[in-house]
Amino acid sequence: MRLVLATFNRDKARELASLLARPGLELVPIGDLVATPPPEETGATLEENARLKAEAAMRATGLPAIADDTGLEVDALDGAPGIYAARFAGPGATYADNVRLLLERLREVPEARRTARFRTVCAACFPDGAVEIGEGVLEGRIAEVPRGSAGFGYDPVFEPEGSSRTLAEMSAEEKDRVSHRGRAARALGQRIASRTS
């Protein structure tokens, strides 16, 4: 089965391709097939945004498509940045801009109250109208300073529950085993496999 990866984020595309790799499944980044801008993320939830991106890629290519949306929910910020994690510091924000703003907002928050979670929803949309969903959650806390050089986004400041290391201090294999995106992709992969078995 050939599926389109409906993301223009190279880091995310690489991670998703690795997580979803299995025999009989060919994963093609949308940029390799069509020159189309990413759709505006107008959904009110992660699932709505993931479906919106997957459906747009399916329409543009005529192929089944997979997309994900990830949010960071920080308890001391009443769940912010939530679905706006990628543009927390504004349109065009870099990873560093978003991390800097997050740490500023948490400057006076003690360690015990820096709890947070990553939540990812992966959606696969098929030309026959079927939609499959996988969700993954990773509980943890926000570190006081960035640590590590692996990963991307908020990885340098996110310590998974039970670990003293940030996601950016883990190898790709370690991160994939525990990460929110890994859990969502594995759940989605099982649902896709059941369609082809």
Phi, psi for 91 (deg, rounded to 5): -60, 135
Radius of gyration of the chain (CA): 17
Per-residue pLDDT band at 21 (split at 50, 70, 90) = confident
pLDDT, residue 56, reads 94
172 compared with 50, residue with greater pLDDT:
50
Q: What's the whole-number mean pLDDT along residues 130-137?
A: 96
173 compared with 134, residue with greater pLDDT:
134
> How many beta carbons lie within 10 A of that of residue 108, not counting itself?
7
Q: How far apart are CA 126 and CA 156, in angstroms?
A: 35
> How many beta carbons lie within 10 A of that of residue 68, not counting itself?
29
Residue 75 annotated as catalytic: no
Q: What's the whole-number mean pLDDT along residues 83-94?
A: 94
Catalytic residue among 32, 68, 69, 128: 69
In terms of C-beta density within 10 A (0-12 exposed, 13-18 middle, 19 or more buried), how is residue 155 classed? buried
Task: Give the domains, in start order, of the chain with CATH numbers.
Answer: 2-196 (3.90.950.10)
